[in-house]
Amino acid sequence: MTATQSAERALKRGGILMAVGLFLVAGVYVRALLFTPEEATQGLAQKIFYIHAPSAWVALYLAYGVVGIFSVLYLFLKDPRLDLLASSSAEVGTVFTTVVLITGPIWGKTIWGAWWTWDARLTATLFLYFVYLAYLVLRSAVDEPGRRARYSAVLGILGALLVPFIHMTVYLFRTLHPMPVVLQPGRPRVPGPMLVTILYAFFAFTVFYFGLLARRYAWARLKAERAQREADGGDASR
């Protein structure tokens, strides 16, 4: 099949994955609100955790990890599709980061009384947001696709390596964040049903991320194919 047809097929498949992910995420809401007990000290507000934490996982580690890996691959292999994948992941990651930065202060306001405290995790997320934004602004500043891909890859690699440093920097400063309850050595302190909900939430958000990524990537490929066809079509008459 032609490249365009393959891109269109990918678009449809991406759409399906995205819809599945969305359905699963809706399930998170249902489960969190109806089937999970309320937490003792924080009450209803704690349930934002089921959105906040999985979004943070996707934004900070999954999405940026994908950007970093595919940036490196692009510099070695020079396949433009690798660049499209990296940039799609950056866009999706930016969306999830926005979710983290909105749900965080909402949660903070209800339990600590302040919209923003320079708490370690949230600050790290904010700084990572700057990296994502820098990536997107850089892409919009370069028109020629080859150079745009190269520059994005360079920034992608540097940014991916910056993530651990931002974490370490921020953690050296005092932290107010609730201690990670699930990933503690030994047994997690979260009671059974809440643990199930949070694990399910991580799973659902991960699927949703891949759905969005697949769809965005397929769309980017389709656009590139169409632009290529137009450019070639003009030349074919020579």
* Interface ranges with other proteins (CB under 8 A): 75, 127-128, 130-131, 133-134, 137-138, 141-147, 150-151, 153-155, 157-159, 161-162, 165-166, 168-169, 172-173, 227-228, 230-232, 235, 238
For 97-114, letters b (16+ CB in 10 Å) and e give bebbbebbbebbeeeeee
| For other proteins, the closer CB: 10 or 142 | 142
User: What is the C-alpha separation between 200 and 32, in angstroms, rounded?
Assistant: 10
CA 137 to chain centre: 17
**Shortest distance in whole angstroms from residue 238 CB to other proteins:** 6
**Shortest distance in whole angstroms from residue 190 CB to other proteins:** 31
| For other proteins, the closer CB: 33 or 168 | 168
**Shortest distance in whole angstroms from residue 13 CB to other proteins:** 26
| For other proteins, the closer CB: 145 or 188 | 145
User: What is the C-alpha separation between 156 and 139, in angstroms, rounded?
Assistant: 11
User: What is the C-alpha separation between 159 and 40, in angstroms, rounded?
Assistant: 39
| For other proteins, the closer CB: 187 or 238 | 238
**Shortest distance in whole angstroms from residue 228 CB to other proteins:** 5
State the helix-helix crossing angle for 80-112 and 49-56, rounded to 10 degrees.
Answer: 150
For 136-154, letters b (16+ CB in 10 Å) and e give eeebeeeeeeeebbbbbbe
**Shortest distance in whole angstroms from residue 233 CB to other proteins:** 10
**Shortest distance in whole angstroms from residue 16 CB to other proteins:** 30
User: What is the C-alpha separation between 90 and 140, in angstroms, rounded?
Assistant: 13
User: What is the C-alpha separation between 134 and 130, in angstroms, rounded?
Assistant: 6
